[in-house]
A and B are shown apart, each in its own frame.
Chain A
């Protein structure tokens, strides 16, 4: 081998190594700068190019189980747990086409799953999932073989969860329950028209989801039933409120971290709200005392929207369309193949 060849190779190696060293120095500087700026997470993390969801094959029909019980709320506003047990169990079982709620959980989840229950606790004390309902879902999951430690009840903040009556548990035993607003996977992910960092627990831990939503009006989106609840898993929901949250809500729901893991949607309609949402607005709350559930996340929203419109008519409010707040995102979700929005194709099984 000639000396000049060796020298040339050495030079090439140096040239190749130099950018790497420079990159390392720049990386160190970036991390230092990020720390100096009080940032958390990976500085300069690459954005994961995100697909606009490829249309799925839309289901032809959907089944939504729905039921209500007079006396679910007693005169003091407390929940009658026996009635809730009976009602919720029947609705969940019917939604999964099984005989019992435990059988439903066995059908939808594996014992090895880490099951996340995303609750919408913003309007605690009003139209929001109650700890009693969420607790029974957790019980049945455990009876179906999912260890308590592998069940996670979560929303954005501890404050909202405690405001809705939940007890925070970040401890080593029992069902976990906590807010995720300070624990994101700081890697921006594209999800079609939007881009966000997702709750770390969803990225790293959860393998299956139950969406536990409310039945309520939403000032921007029109309604907040099930699909809107997913705004609570991203770090920047406030960046996706334009144009009635359309088309952001369905694209977010279609993102694989959510869309591929969602097994069941349960809507706590113990107290529902037809106007003035998403926060609690006592004037517009009515004690519907019911539950809706389905494995079709779009059909649940379509049914919930129809119920809110009915209530609005009953109390003399204009329709959401007339108020320019029609939840157009539900039809978009159907067009993405996430479920059925056409009420004619939704079988509502009353319990």
Chain B
């Protein structure tokens, strides 16, 4: 009981920092003995942008020419057929005279130092900072988009600045971030930039991770898998109806992406944003859990996270915590080993437990990691190996 109260107090303190009340040392400012492994610098002064610039035209990869100057994009399952001077559904790739270009390579709109827990990637270097960036644009159009001001915008509608892949890698080293996260919007639409960042980062001994909706074709996915360290997939729901009506996309290609990532040995985690009345059914949670267990493996972490009204869905309430707990219970009953409750600070479902003995292995409060008990990637109590990326080296 006391422990729970302390957790809530810590979470409130963390929120205070997020609201700009602290922002430097977090819990440590009050003399708390709890270590803070990563500090969210998303608020307060962000990393200074080097300066704005006009949109560049960088040749796109993954497309083919059609007749009469049109092109077909080969990046995502929409396979947009784009006439001259038109753009694909993502809004960031344009046909100019029969050739396809990306308008956002090396032109991010967001750049922050986040805890990697914010992605969330709970099994990747917990408690470390991740240099997080995004360009404008997305290939879906989720009505609940949490970052719609940048994800649902075209690049000329959002201030951007120049940051080359080499500069991103150098910045990560300078900020002692062992990872660069391509996140916030949809990295698939800036896949060339992701790829080039990952190549540059690797030379600097920095890993690159991607936070994606998974709507990507095989060829670009394979190219990215060759250079990425981990991928978090937002599985929007487990029904085609939801994907079509709420996201303007399809479920099947996302499931195919998950299977392909797993088959190739990529570390993956899955987030499901649970929205009241739209994708919160018990049968849907069960079906999803069975897919993960059967097609991907029970060790793949699944995060059921809380919805807050945003963008075009303002008429639904926040997800009741009980709904998230029920989804978690169902998934664990189906045999998944690492199931989390997200966007609910201080909830016991934030922590990582050993699936063998139940020992708490990683303790989290909000975005902060307050305790890591893993020993060389193993449970200290029963010595069971816990899957994930635990070592910077």
Contact (A186, B154) CB under 8 Å given A40-B159, A239-B141: no
Give the nearest-CB partner of B21 in chain A: A25
- Please name the 3 residue pairs, one residue from A and one from B, whose CB atoms are nearest each other, closest first: A219-B83, A279-B84, A279-B85
The answer to whether A33 touches B85, judged by C-beta atoms less than 8 angstroms apart, is: no
Bound CA–CA A336/B371 (angstroms): 61
Contacts of A242 in B (CB 8 A): 248
CB of A182, distance to nearest CB on chain B (Å): 6
Please report which residues of chain A, range 169-214, place their CB below 8 angstroms from some CB of chain B when the two chains form the complex: 181-182, 184, 186, 188, 190, 195
Q: Of A41, A157, A239, which contacts B89 at CB under 8 A?
A: A239
Q: Are A278 and B86 in contact (CB under 8 A)?
A: yes
Answer yes or no: B44 CB below 8 A from chain A CBs.
yes
* B149/A43 in contact, CB under 8 A: yes
**B392 within 8 Å of A (CB atoms):** no
In contact, A182 and B157 (Cβ under 8 angstroms)? yes
Q: Which residues of B contact A276 (CB under 8 A)?
A: 68-69, 83-84
Range of interface residues on chain A? 35 or more
Which A residue's beta carbon lies closest to that of B145? A188
Whether A82 is near chain B, meaning CB under 8 Å from some CB there, is: no
**Cβ 8 A contact of A279, one of B20, B46, B83, B314:** B83
Contact A38 B158 (CB under 8 A): yes
Q: Told that A238-B87, A279-B84 touch, could you supply 8 new A-B pairs with CB distance under 8 A?
A: A28-B19, A32-B44, A36-B46, A36-B112, A40-B157, A47-B311, A236-B153, A281-B68
- Identify which of A28, A33, A34 gathers the most chain B CB atoms within 10 Å of its CB: A33
In the bound complex, do residue A278 and residue B85 qualify as a contact, i.e. CB atoms below 8 Å apart?
Answer: yes
In Å, the complex CA distance between A277 and B69 comes to 10
The docked-state distance in angstroms from the alpha carbon of A197 to that of B184 is: 20
Task: Name 5 interchain pairs, CB-CB below 8 A, sorted by A.
Answer: A37-B134, A44-B310, A188-B311, A238-B87, A239-B248
Judging by beta carbons under 8 Å apart, are A236 and B143 in contact? no
* Binary per-residue interface labels of chain B (158-185) against chain A in the complex, 1 for a CB within 8 Å, 0 otherwise: 1111000000000000000000000010
| Distance in Å: Cβ of A273 to nearest Cβ of chain B | 12
Also in contact, A29 and B19, with CB within 8 A (given A182-B156, A182-B157): yes
Taking CB atoms, residues of chain A closer than 8 Å to B161 are 38
Smallest CB gap from B311: residue in A:
A188
CA distance A242 to B310 in the complex (A): 24
Assembly CA distance A278 to B84 (angstroms): 8
Q: Using a Cβ–Cβ cut-off of 8 Å, how many residues does chain B contribute to the interface with A? A: 52
**Is A238 in contact with B312, judged by CB distance below 8 angstroms?**
no
A33-B42 contact given A186-B149, A188-B312, A190-B312, CB 8 Å threshold: yes
User: What residue in chain A is nearest B68 (Cβ atoms)?
Assistant: A276
In the complex, the answer to whether B310 meets A38 with C-beta atoms within 8 Å is: no
B152:A236 contact, CB within 8 angstroms: yes
**Cβ-closest chain A residue relative to B82:** A219
Q: Which of B40-71 contact A (CB under 8 A)?
A: 42-44, 46, 49, 68-70
Name which of A184, A220, A279 has the most chain B CB atoms within 10 A of its CB.
A279
Q: A188 vs B142: C-alpha distance in the bound complex, in angstroms? A: 13
Contact status A238-B91, CB under 8 Å: yes
Nearest CB in chain B: distance from A279 CB, A: 4
Q: With an 8 A cutoff between CB atoms, is A51 at the interface?
A: no
User: Which of B18, B42, B157 has a CB less than 8 Å from the CB of A235?
Assistant: B157
Question: Quick one: given A279-B85, A279-B86, are A47 and B154 in contact (CB under 8 Å)?
Answer: no
Q: Decide yes or no whether A4 CB sits under 8 A from chain B.
A: no
Assembly CA distance A179 to B15 (angstroms): 41
Judge whether B43 and A36 touch: CB under 8 Å. Answer: yes
Q: In chain B, what residue has the closest Cβ to A29?
A: B19
Q: Mark B60-101, 1 if CB is under 8 A from A, else 0.
A: 000000001110000000001101111111110000000000
> Please, which residue of chain A has its CB at the minimum distance from the CB of B149?
A39
Residues on B with beta carbons closer than 8 Å to the beta carbon of A39: 109, 149-150, 158
List residues of B whose CB falls within 8 A of some A CB: 15-16, 18-21, 42-44, 46, 49, 68-70, 80-81, 83-91, 109-110, 112, 134, 141, 143, 147-150, 152-154, 156-161, 184, 248, 310-315
Asked if A181 and B157 make an inter-chain contact with CB atoms under 8 angstroms apart, the answer reads: yes
Residue of A40, A46, A195, A219 near B149 (CB, 8 A) is A40
* Cα of A236 to Cα of B156 in the assembled complex, Å: 12
A181 with B156: CB separation less than 8 A? yes
Interface of B is mostly: loop
User: B154–A235 contact, CB under 8 A?
Assistant: yes
- Chain B residues contacting A239 (CB-CB under 8 Å) are 89, 91, 141, 152, 248
CB–CB A47/B157 < 8 A: no
Q: How far is the CB of A27 from chain B (nearest CB, A)?
A: 9
Contact in complex: A219, B86 (CB < 8 Å): yes
Q: A33 CA to B147 CA in the complex, in Å? A: 10
CB of A122 within 8 A of CB of B85, answer: yes
Contact with B along A5-40 (1 / 0, CB 8 A): 000000000000000000001101100111011111
With the chains together, A184 CA to B156 CA distance in Å? Answer: 12
A241 at the binding interface (Cβ < 8 Å) = yes
CA distance A211 to B46 in the complex (A): 43
A277 to B95, alpha carbons, bound, how many Å? 13
Answer yes or no: A49 CB below 8 A from chain B CBs.
Answer: yes
* CB atoms of A235 and B153 under 8 A apart: yes
Asked whether, in the complex, the Cβ of A37 is within 8 Å of the Cβ of B83, the reply is: no
B48 to chain A, nearest CB (A): 11
Scan A241-252; emit 1 where CB is below 8 A from any B CB, else 0.
110000000000
Closest Cβ neighbor of B134 among chain A residues: A37
Report B-chain residues with C-beta under 8 Å of the C-beta of A33.
42-43
Q: Which residues of A contact B49 (CB under 8 A)?
A: 38
CB-CB under 8 A from B150, the residues of chain A are: 37-39
Residue numbers in A under 8 Å from B88 (CB-CB): 238
The answer to whether A29 touches B158, judged by C-beta atoms less than 8 angstroms apart, is no
Smallest CB-CB separation from B80: which chain A residue?
A241
Q: Which residues of A contact B147 (CB under 8 A)?
A: 37
List the B side residues contacting A26 at CB < 8 Å.
19
Min distance, Cβ B342 to any Cβ of chain A, angstroms: 17
Chain B nearest CB: distance from A125 CB in Å?
A: 12
B143 near A195: Cβ-Cβ < 8 Å: yes
Nearest neighbor of B313 in chain A, beta-carbon distance: A47
B110 touches A37 (CB 8 A): yes
- Is the CB–CB distance between A236 and B154 below 8 Å? yes
